[in-house]
């Protein structure tokens, strides 16, 4: 189980290393999107830990045409 300290560190470091073992061999499945948020199933291929990354809409960008 991933604790609050591990979660905060994982997010602060940009989600590039496993929150449990710290290895950078992590893989994500496809991203699911719904109503301003998204999530992705993640796996560490080193230690086998599984978790879900959760994303949220923070801004919009209007493209100039």
| DSSP code per residue over 5-64 | HHHHHHHHTTS-S-TTT--S-EEEEEEEEETTEEEEEEEETTT--EEEEEEE-----PPP
pLDDT in tens, 5-17: 999 999 999 999 9
Q: What pTM value is reported for the model?
A: 0.85
pLDDT in tens, 9-48: 999 999 999 999 999 999 999 999 998 899 999 999 999 9
């Amino acid at each position: 189980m991933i604790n609050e300290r591990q979660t905060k560190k994982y997010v602060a470091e940009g989600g590039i290393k496993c929150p449990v073992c710290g290895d950078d061999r992590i893989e994500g499945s496809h991203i699911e999107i719904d109503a301003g948020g998204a999530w992705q199933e993640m796996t560490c291929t080193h230690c086998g830990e599984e978790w879900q990354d959760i994303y949220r809409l923070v801004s919009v960008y209007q493209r100039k045409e």
